[in-house]
Chains A and B, each alone.
Chain A
Amino acid sequence: MSASGAGSRGVWRIIARREFVERGRDRGFAISTAITLLILVGIIVITSAVGGRTTYDLAVVGEGSRAVGEDVVAAAALLDIGVELHEVPDEQSARQALSDGAADAALVDAERIVVQSQPPAELVGLIQAASIRERSLAALTESGLTEAEVDEALNQQQLPVESVETVNARSRENATVAFVGVLALYGQLFAYGYWVAAGVVEEKASRVIEVLLATVRPSQLLRGKIFGIGLLGLGQLLLIGIVGLVTSMAVGRLEFPSGALATVGLVLFWFVLGFFFYATLFAVAGSIVTRQEDLQTTMTPLTLLIVASFFVGISATSNPSSTLATVASLLPFSSPLVMPTRIALGEATPWEVVLSIAISIGSTALLIPIATKVYSRALLQTGRVRIRQVLRQRG
């Protein structure tokens, strides 16, 4: 009797499948995914309730207040701001409405504006302007002008506003999505890179590596591990992206879903580039130690590289065309955390994008044979292995 089945060529797929299934089945994975999604949904819902506010409630009480209030509503409409008037019987109930939060401001007898504490600047400004208009109207009528003359005097054209730089609501929204994307990428590269390293150490520490190496090549083991864990990371990122987009649309935070979708796509693409680059290095970091406790030390340079790139990535969301951001978007270790933002904000030129992708793929391609060499030779050695020594020795 002999073993049947496929040749050893496709064996890395079996290895990848194990990594994917075993880690996906882990309870810690399910919990951490759930927590990430909860935080994301929470942030989107909360910011939409607080930041995206464009309606006010104005309580009006006493003589003349209603007329001023109607002026406020008309003026606010021109600015895309909604104001709802609530007529109340007396000042007492107006104050009650303020403390209940049912009203943002109250206009009493067209003479006084009452607010709870901090005056809402936009609304108060609108009331002031309307009130001045009402009083001017009364004064002009009193001075004997005809109605037509009064109208002509008061209904002046608004001053035109000219922006030196065009305000692009779309790119501002993309920046927000990109910011969340950088945050997610940072977390993913960290977590899944660590998993690769810890997985390598697990096989060394448990000595299962010797059983494995009797039947598969180290390069197959490495490839299977990176693909399996990477696929899980990509899947989780995709889930985060979809949940984020759907939640944002549901609470009305997304005006340009297509742009946000494209940004999510960018983040996923750069995760793949960044993950392959970092996972290869993390595998080396894992292969040169024998115990999980020693892993922190060998991972430190990688950790610092990701953290530094993350900070550049964050600064790029507000300043995407700085020299730092431009350079960082080309280097293989930082481009995944910087380039998606620059593209989303329309700041990256096509050749920069192409160059960045080429550098990332090229450097990973250069890295893989060296990493495979170190990994293969360090796997059966115990204790702390020195990379330079491993590269020099024969197999």
Chain B
Amino acid sequence: MLELDGLTRRFGDVVALDDVSFSVPEGQLLGFVGPNGAGKTTAMRIALGVLRADAGQVRWRGRPVDLEIRRRFGYMPEERGLYPKMRVIDQLEYLARLHGLERSDARAQAARMAELLGVDDRSRDKTETLSLGNQQRVQLAAALVHRPEVLVLDEPFSGLDPVGVDVLSGVLREQAEGSVPVVFSSHQLDLVERLCESVVLIDRGRVVAAGRISELRARDPRRLVRIEVAGARDGWLDTVQGVQVLESLPEGAILELGAGVPEIRVLDAAQAAGEVRHFSVVQPSLAEIFREAVTREGR
């Protein structure tokens, strides 16, 4: 289990992290979610020892993480970084060796990772000559090349095309199935929802919600309805008593029902307004849970 315990960090007067704690068991794929400046990168940098915490501790299998342990971690920083003039294969081999692999092992792993991420045909080229998407694949290969015990990836999906997203999703699932705890941050909440069982939601340096997505949903007491109506005049929803629009859709909305408001009231109003194309009771999306958690915290 990877544990972040009470991490606090200030930059001048700004509190970047305020008593942040969460843990990732072996084999779990954890989404680390929050708006820009929430403290995701700071927390990940502290976990990798690139930054020091003012307070708190990071533990792996119960032991405080030091350099020797950290060498067995795999890390992909938000600001990607590779040697631009080095050949892809040499770069991967070098990084594998820095993480403690023997030369022959490092060489074999470098080739294996280049193949896994589909950049083996460019492995003899200088890294700077690759497209940004391919450089990102090399960056991920660099995080994986030494068979890490723990994976920490900062915004690994940003900048990837749909094919790249699929490749990366597959690789992350595979790693988690190989009993590696995987933490990754992302803005793409739908992607996190699809990929992860568990999430940690962070806002302004504080964890606002954490746990399995299904449990977070179950804990959310709100009743939501999704409705789509063709040919209705604008503003028909305003006439329905006791509902609140959470999200407008092209021909409808996601609504939160007030206490004691029956679903049928919405359906009746919709049928009066136009032709109903869709009507369903829905569960809150991760984005909804997050919004709710942030407002609750803000109170």
- List residues of chain A with CB within 8 A of the CB of B90: 22
- List residues of chain B with CB within 8 A of the CB of A250: none
Residue B77 lies at the interface, judged by CB distance under 8 Å to chain A: yes
Using A14-B97, A22-B85, A211-B75 as known contacts, say yes or no to A217 and B50 having CB atoms under 8 A apart: no
* Contact, CB under 8 Å: B50 / A214: yes
- List residues of chain B with CB within 8 A of the CB of A209: 81
* Contact, CB under 8 Å: A3 / B83: no
- The CA of A208 and the CA of B50, in the complex, are separated in Å by 12
* Contact, CB under 8 Å: B50 / A206: no
Chain B contact patch, size range? 35 or more
* Contact, CB under 8 Å: A5 / B51: no
CB distance from B102 to the nearest CB of A (A): 5
- The CA of A212 and the CA of B86, in the complex, are separated in Å by 15
Residue A207 lies at the interface, judged by CB distance under 8 Å to chain B: yes
Q: Name B96's closest neighbour in chain A (CB-CB).
A: A3
Query: B100: which of A8, A207, A213, A217 is its contact (CB, 8 Å)?
Result: A8
Query: Which DSSP category, helix, strand, loop or mixed, fits chain B's interface?
Result: loop
- The CA of A11 and the CA of B102, in the complex, are separated in Å by 11
- List residues of chain B with CB within 8 A of the CB of A207: 77, 79-81
How many residues of chain A are within 8 Å of chain B by beta carbon? 29
Residue A216 lies at the interface, judged by CB distance under 8 Å to chain B: yes
Residue A79 lies at the interface, judged by CB distance under 8 Å to chain B: no
* Contact, CB under 8 Å: A15 / B147: no
* Contact, CB under 8 Å: A208 / B81: yes
Most A-side CB within 10 Å, residue of B81, B86, B98: B98
* Contact, CB under 8 Å: A214 / B100: no
Most B-side CB within 10 Å, residue of A6, A7, A210: A210
Residue A1 lies at the interface, judged by CB distance under 8 Å to chain B: yes
Q: Name B106's closest neighbour in chain A (CB-CB).
A: A5
CB distance from B51 to the nearest CB of A (A): 7
Residue B67 lies at the interface, judged by CB distance under 8 Å to chain A: yes
Using A1-B147, A380-B51 as known contacts, say yes or no to A210 and B100 having CB atoms under 8 A apart: no
- The CA of A1 and the CA of B149, in the complex, are separated in Å by 7
* Contact, CB under 8 Å: A8 / B81: no
CB distance from A151 to the nearest CB of B (A): 82
* Contact, CB under 8 Å: A7 / B77: no
Q: Name B179's closest neighbour in chain A (CB-CB).
A: A1
Q: Number of contacts between A and B (CB, 8 Å)?
A: 91
Residue B82 lies at the interface, judged by CB distance under 8 Å to chain A: yes
* Contact, CB under 8 Å: B75 / A3: no
- List residues of chain B with CB within 8 A of the CB of A22: 83, 85-86, 90
* Contact, CB under 8 Å: A208 / B83: yes
CB distance from A315 to the nearest CB of B (A): 40
Residue B95 lies at the interface, judged by CB distance under 8 Å to chain A: yes
Query: B50: which of A2, A15, A380 is its contact (CB, 8 Å)?
Result: A380
- The CA of A22 and the CA of B75, in the complex, are separated in Å by 24
List chain B positions with a Cβ less than 8 A from chain A. 45, 48-52, 67-68, 70-73, 75, 77, 79-86, 90, 94-95, 97-102, 105, 142, 146-149, 178
List chain A positions with a Cβ less than 8 A from chain B. 1-8, 11, 14-15, 18, 22, 202-203, 206-217, 380, 395
Contacts A3-B100, A207-B81, A217-B67 known; 17 new A-B pairs at CB < 8 A: A1-B178, A3-B72, A5-B100, A5-B101, A5-B105, A6-B100, A7-B68, A14-B94, A22-B86, A203-B83, A206-B83, A207-B77, A211-B77, A212-B98, A215-B67, A215-B95, A380-B50
Instruction: Name the 6 nearest CB pairs between A and B, nearest first.
Output: A207-B81, A208-B81, A5-B100, A214-B48, A210-B77, A207-B79
Q: Can you list 18 A-B pairs with a CB-CB distance of less than 8 A?
A: A2-B147, A3-B149, A4-B101, A5-B97, A5-B101, A5-B105, A6-B100, A8-B68, A11-B98, A14-B94, A18-B94, A207-B77, A208-B83, A211-B77, A211-B81, A212-B98, A215-B70, A215-B98
